[in-house]
Amino acid sequence: MNCAECRDNLVACAEGLLDSPGETLLRAHLDACADCRAEYQAISNLQQRLIAHAQTAAQVSIAEAVMRRVRRKQVKPEGETIMSKLLKYRWGLGLGATAAVAIALLGFLLSTPRAQAKAAEVMTRGAKALAKLSSIHLRGQIRAYPQDNFASINPDGQFYSIELWKQFEPELKWRIEKPQRVAVMDGLSTVMLIKTANMGVRVPQPSSSAFDTEWLHRIASLSNTIANELRNATDKGWKLSLAEETGPDGKLKSVVTVLANSGLLDDDYLKNKSFKNADTRRVYRFDAQSELLESVQIYLARPSGEVPIFDLNQIDYNEPIDLKEWQLELPADVSWFQEPQKLPDNQKYASMTAEQAARAFFEACARKDWVEVGKFVSPVNQQLKDYLGGLQLLSLGESFSSKAYAGRFVPYEIKLSDGTVKKLNLAIRNDNPSARWQVDGGI
Amino acid sequence: MSQNRVAPSLIHDDANSLARLSMDLTDKQYVQRCRDGHPEEFGSLVVRYQKPLFSFLASRVRNRQQAEEAAQESFVRAFVSLSKLRKPESFYSWLLGIAERVAREQFRFEARHWQDPEAITPLVTNDTDHTGDSPVEEAIAVLPENHRQVILLRYYEGLSCQEVAVRLKIPLGTVTKTLSRAYALLRQELKARGRAERTINRTDEP
């Protein structure tokens, strides 16, 4: 590789987009060429600077507040467009979402067949009905590992309960819970507890969704769902259809079905592993009279056939929510997740490849060097020590990536101290301010 | 422990989703639509620039709450003065000018009402390359709009390069090329600003 070829590929390398041979070639050139190395370092420095600035604003969401004030400043009457009619419906809390629906719906109505447009209208009326409410409580079942993240699915496993409480007014609050994982946003901060790992995560600001719960929040704030489905219908060719049926209560129901495509290739490692990256059929049932959403079923579409993965069968609207739902009982010895900070010898770790970092991590676990383990994972608590302490690293493969994941996966085989052999893929990522590889899952 | 991700490093915010959902018109088109009687379109400009604007203000005011208040105030003033904007394609740099004035007013207000030495402590302290008062947000404002959009989506909206490509309906290679060019322009701009600041600082010395 010469300097010109190297410069052409520096950004792709810094973004982790080069394939393994390409990256090896480029890194070999960097080792040999001080000028290109300096250029690469300059790009990395700028990236770090941008990341740091963007992180400062990560949780900022002032659009609703600004638009409330803007509306008060308005002197000209609104035109009677579809958008303005929709916007009038709920200017307060759901404004941003409603605006997005209005924009998406307008584009959709103009560009799609009548049957799809009718389905979109049913969903929009559902969102408008929902926009009048002050709280929602969803109860359903999800096929997933009980302790795994809120978006993950396990289509071959059993169903577990999942619940969402969400208060829209006077102040946004929410709680999502499944057997081994719970997250609470109490209006001040957002905290999650992973019970099996005895690990807590705290986001010091309120958030409208966090910790991979966005897909469920979208259902609770139906306007977001509709905007998302319509946008994808337009951009990715998702199909919407509408049917009517008589429900068990003898009342007429409008049933909107959405065929959603993950956009991932069949050989992508993360395909069909979470709600965000799965080919699904989503069925929304609305009461034709009240126009409120009554149930949602999501089916995973696999070549071997469909598997139900989510069944939302109880939705309570405007039900008073017990104040205790906004409190999260934390174990006294809970360990807190911390974003990695730059270390004095940070460069040593930042310059590692994913494979080198995975090896260093496992070898540190093998010799129970917990300070060193802490360079790659947070927190290093007793559960982690008990599980990985004294392991034997049997093999480590070449890392690979997924279109849906910012980090890399490193295949490995380890023998735990109790003799159990584990053959899995370590998820590891370095898109943090320290640029060090951090173990993100797959343990 | 499970096979899948256990660490919760991804924090999603509905604002991000909104940004992804909103139509991707240019700044000039949004401004034009606002002027043409669609004030709700201003929301798309707010979603597009709320984060870089906040970050810009964070280094100029005392705390997070003030940065949010100043950002809101800046947007509202921008909306009210939208008819005076001569170059709609320069909306963002014009907005930064408004924000600068809002921050100065806030600073003067603080100086009058508080005798608190921390009043001038900026919120941004973790940016090791941050040299005095030249935040990257001003340099971003100088970028051509397509370059700026890629930088904003990649960093402030937290999209991966692949997601940026899908969002903007451009090939992945174009995203990396645009980023590459944007980085070069940003470095050039930041360097020039750094030089200018050093000159000013030297001039200010007794």
Regarding whether A199 and A64 lie in a shared domain, the answer is no
- Residue A248: count of CB within 10 angstroms of its CB: 6
* CB-CB neighbors (< 8 A) of B47 in chain A: 63, 96
Instruction: Judge if A356 and A322 occupy the same domain.
Output: no
**Whether A29 and A72 share a structural domain:** yes
* Closest residue to B46, CB basis, from A55, A63, A208: A63
In chain B, what percentage of residues exceed pLDDT 90? 18
pLDDT band of residue A341 (cuts 50, 70, 90) is: confident
Q: Do B7 and A274 touch (CB under 8 A)?
A: no
The pLDDT, as a whole number, for residue A258 is: 87
**pLDDT of B3 over the 50 cut:** no
Asked whether residue A128 is assigned to any structural domain, the reply reads no
Q: Is residue A388 in a domain?
A: yes
Final residue before a domain boundary, out of A326, A360, A382: A326
Bridging pattern class, strands A199-203 and A335-336: parallel
DSSP letter, residue A404: T
Token pair of A72, please? 């008060």
Banded model confidence at residue A224, pLDDT cuts 50, 70, 90: low
Residue B95 pLDDT = 93
d(CA B31, CA B40) in angstroms, rounded, equals 11
pLDDT at A145: 86
More confident residue, A80 or A407: A407
- CA angle A362/A364/A366 to nearest 5° reads 70
Q: Do A15 and B52 touch (CB under 8 A)?
A: no
Overall average pLDDT of the A296-302 stretch = 93
Q: Scan residues 120-149 of B and list those with Cβ closer than 8 Å to A.
A: 123-124, 126-130, 135-137
Could you tell me if residue A367 is inside a domain? yes
Question: Which of A115-129, A135-149, B136-150 is predicted with the least confidence, judged by mean pLDDT?
Answer: A115-129
Together in a domain, A200 and A252: yes
Rounded to 5°, the CA angle B143-B147-B149 comes to 105
Give strand pairing partners of A283.
Answer: A257, A297
Average confidence (pLDDT) over A171-197: 90
Helix (H) or strand (E) holding A34: helix A34-56
The average pLDDT across A301-326 equals: 89
Structural domain that includes position A143: 135-326
Mean pLDDT, chain A, whole residue set: 83
Nearest alpha-carbon partner for B69 in A437, A91, A378, A62: A62
Domain count within chain A: 3
Residue B13, pLDDT score: 31
Q: What is the pLDDT of residue A227?
A: 66
| Contact residues, B window 59-78, toward A, CB-based 8 Å cutoff | 68, 71-72, 75-76
Amino acid at A80: E
Asked if A190 and A312 sit in the same domain, the reply is yes
Could you give the CA distance from residue A234 to residue A100 in angstroms, rounded to a whole number? 14
A104 sits in which H/E element: helix A95-111
Give the pLDDT confidence score for residue A212 in this predicted structure: 83
DSSP for A266-322? TT-TTTTSBGGG--EEEEEEEETTT--EEEEEEEEEETTEEEEEEEEEEEEESPPPP
How far is A252 from chain B, CA to nearest CA, in Å? 32
- The per-residue pLDDT for A205 is 77
pLDDT confidence band for A146 (50 / 70 / 90) = confident
Q: What is the CATH number of the domain that holds A145?
A: 2.50.20
- Between CA A193 and CA B188 the distance in angstroms is 45
* Domain shared by A90 and A12, yes or no: yes
Average pLDDT over residues A215-233: 74
Clarify whether residues A420 and A284 are in a common domain. no
* Unique residue bearing structure tokens 């930088």: B151
Is the pLDDT at A202 greater than 80? The verdict is yes
Q: Which of A97, A62, A88 is nearest to A225 (CA)?
A: A97
Give yes or no: residues A93 and A223 share one domain. no
For residue A183, the tally of other CB atoms under 10 A from its CB is 26
CB atoms B156 and A103 under 8 Å: no
Residues A161 and A258 in one domain: yes
The 10s digit of each residue's pLDDT in A322-333 is: 888 999 989 988
Q: Of A317, A324, A318, A265, which is closest to residue A287 (Cα–Cα)? A: A317
Q: What is the pLDDT of residue B132?
A: 38
Q: Give the C-alpha separation, A326 to A262, whole Å.
A: 33
Does pLDDT of A280 surpass 80?
yes
Q: Which amino acid is at A1?
A: M
Mean pLDDT, residues A349-362? 95
pLDDT-above-70 percentage for chain B: 67
Where a domain ends, among A326, A357, A387?
A: A326
Residue B55 CA to residue B71 CA, distance in Å, equals 9
Question: Taking CA atoms, what residue in A is nearest to B152?
Answer: A54
Residue A153 has pLDDT above 70, yes or no: yes
Query: Distance of CA A199 to CAs A332, A380, A409, Å?
Result: 11, 10, 23
pLDDT band at residue A142 using 50, 70 and 90 as cut-offs: very high
Neighbours of B23 (CB within 10 A): 15
Show which of A326, A360, A383 is a domain's final residue: A326
pLDDT tens, residue by residue, B159-203: 889 888 888 888 888 999 999 999 999 998 888 877 655 544 443
Chain B nearest-CA distance from A260, in A, is 16
Quick one: average pLDDT of B140-146? 87
Burial of A42 by CB count in 10 Å (0-12 exposed, 13-18 middle, 19+ buried)? Answer: middle
> For residue A106, is it within any domain?
yes
Contact A11 B176 (CB under 8 A): yes
Same domain, A167 and A247: yes
Residue A285 pLDDT greater than 50, yes or no: yes
Output the pLDDT for position A313: 86
- Which tens digits make up the pLDDT trace of B27-77? 998 898 888 878 888 988 998 999 989 988 887 776 777 788 889 889 999
Residue B54 CB neighbours (<10 A): 28
On the question of pLDDT at A398 being above 90, the answer is yes
Please tell me whether residues A79 and A189 are part of one structural domain: no
A212 inside domain: yes
- Residue-wise pLDDT tens digits, A99-136: 455 555 555 554 556 667 777 777 777 777 676 678 88
Residue A159's pLDDT band (boundaries 50, 70, 90)?
very high
Segment holding B3, helix H or strand E: none
- What Cα–Cα distance (Å) separates residue A30 from each residue in A5, A355, A356, A429? 12, 19, 18, 22
Q: In what order do the strands lie in the sheet with A421-429?
A: A392-396, A408-415, A421-429, A438-441
Distance spanning both ends of chain B, measured CA to CA: 63
pLDDT of the residue at B168: 83
CATH classification of the domain holding A421 = 3.10.450
Give phi and psi for A243, each to the nearest 5: -140, 165
Does A382 reside within a domain? yes
Q: What is the average pLDDT across A2-6? A: 88
Using H for helix, E for strand and C for coil, what is the string for B7-57? CCCCCCCHHHHHHHHCCCCCHHHHHHHHHCCCHHHHHHHHHHHHHHHHHHH
DSSP string, A40-98: HHHHHHHHHHHHHHHHHTTT---HHHHHHHHHHH--SPPP--HHHHHHHH--STTHHHH
Size of interface A-B (CB pairs under 8 A): 252
A120 assigned to some structural domain = no
Question: What pLDDT is stored for residue A375 in this prediction?
Answer: 92
> Which residues from chain B sit within 8 angstroms of residue A213, using beta carbons?
12
Write down the pLDDT at residue A338. Answer: 81
**Per the domain annotation, does A331 fall within a domain?**
no
Beta-carbon separation of A15 and B37 below 8 A: no
Q: Which of A288, A305, A294, A296 is nearest to A258 (CA)?
A: A296
Q: Write the residue in A43, A79, A197 that is nearest to B6 by C-beta.
A: A197
| A187 and A243 fall within a common domain | yes
In this predicted structure, what is the pLDDT of residue B19?
31
Task: Please indicate whether residue B182 or residue A92 has the higher confidence score (pLDDT).
Answer: B182
> If you average pLDDT over residues A211-240, what whole number do you get?
76
Choose from B18, B57, B59, B77 for mutation: most chain A CBs within 10 A. Answer: B18
> Does the structure show a pLDDT above 70 at A11?
yes
Q: A6, A7, A11: which to substitute to probe chain B, counting the most B Cβ within 10 Å?
A: A11
E strand spans, B46-151: none
The answer to whether A330 and A168 are in contact (CB under 8 A) is no
Residue with tokens 């995203």: B175
